[in-house]
Amino acid sequence: MRLNVTVNGRPLRADDVWEGESLLYVLRERLGLPGSKNACEQGECGSCTVRLDGVPVCSCLVAAGQAEGRDVVTVEGLAEHARRRTAGRTGETGPGSGSGGSDTGSASGPGGSDTGSDTGSEAGTGSDTGPAGDTGRAGGTGGTGGPDGRQPVAAASSQLAPVQQAFVDAGAVQCGFCTPGLLVAADALLEQNPEPTDADIREALSGNLCRCTGYEKILDAVRLAAARGGPQSAGATGPAGPAGPAGPAGKDGA
């Protein structure tokens, strides 16, 4: 089947999608967005967390077909999502606004410059969100993908989302496998609740498991992001660190 979905503000298309494929598989294997991690693929760990029409979900539990015509935000698009959110709140207009605003990218195919948060790096978050991202993938609207059959997608921003920068600054990133999911969940929390209590943070991150660390640095990072003004504060520039640890355990099923 053909899947039409807006990912990080860009309308995209994937062909020959099997009905049983997960959204996670489509994102990683067909759309060239490996930021969302596949760990348990059972809805247990939260490392695959994305936002589907604004709601954090485990993309491993979402059938690709369920995403038809909907808006998805992945860790690769977090910085741009934050930028648009800020623009929306300040009354600016830009290409697409709010979550899931539609942005028509152009170039498709290899050779584009991808400065986005994580393309190409299996490490999720802060990781390759540096000023110079991975090269070789270009954003596209409805393109059919590069020679490898994947649909190339580029994140548009070279900045970190505030929550990403807070994770870096708080030292909340270690191996990073859990970090993309944590970032997406934390960003969603701060969007809904800019001044969360510790209980709110723990609840919001309860679906995200970290296998390497305790969760204290992660909690610190979310507190820091909130103190800096939540998800709407200005994104920080600069290179990002490697992906980081996760928060408390829990699930956030699709």
Residues of this chain that interact with ligand FES (CB under 6 A) are 38-41, 43-48, 58, 60, 174-178, 210-213, 244-246
Q: How far is the CB of 142 from ligand FES (least distance, A)?
A: 27
In Å, how far are 51, 143, 215 from 170, measured between CA atoms?
24, 39, 12
Q: Let me know: does 176 contact 168? Beta carbons within 8 Å.
A: no
* β-bridge partners, 113: 135
Can you read off the two tokens belonging to residue 239? Answer: 């290179």
Q: Let me know: does 28 contact 94? Beta carbons within 8 Å.
A: no
Nearer to ligand FES, 41 or 53 (CB): 41
Indicate the helix (H) or strand (E) that contains 6: strand 3-7
Q: How far is the CB of 86 from ligand FES (least distance, A)?
A: 28
Q: How far is the CB of 104 from ligand FES (least distance, A)?
A: 30
In Å, how far are 20, 60, 77, 109 from 25, measured between CA atoms?
10, 7, 17, 20
Nearer to ligand FES, 122 or 203 (CB): 122
Q: How far is the CB of 217 from ligand FES (least distance, A)?
A: 9
Nearer to ligand FES, 149 or 214 (CB): 214
In Å, how far are 9, 76, 218, 240 from 154, measured between CA atoms?
11, 8, 27, 17
Q: How far is the CB of 60 from ligand FES (least distance, A)?
A: 3
Q: How far is the CB of 102 from ligand FES (least distance, A)?
A: 27
Nearer to ligand FES, 45 or 154 (CB): 45
Of 78, 54, 55, 66, the residue nearest 24 (C-alpha): 66
Nearer to ligand FES, 7 or 243 (CB): 243
Q: What is the CA radius of gyration of the chain?
A: 16
Can you read off the two tokens belonging to residue 132? Answer: 């110079």
Indicate the helix (H) or strand (E) that contains 78: helix 78-89
Nearer to ligand FES, 177 or 230 (CB): 177
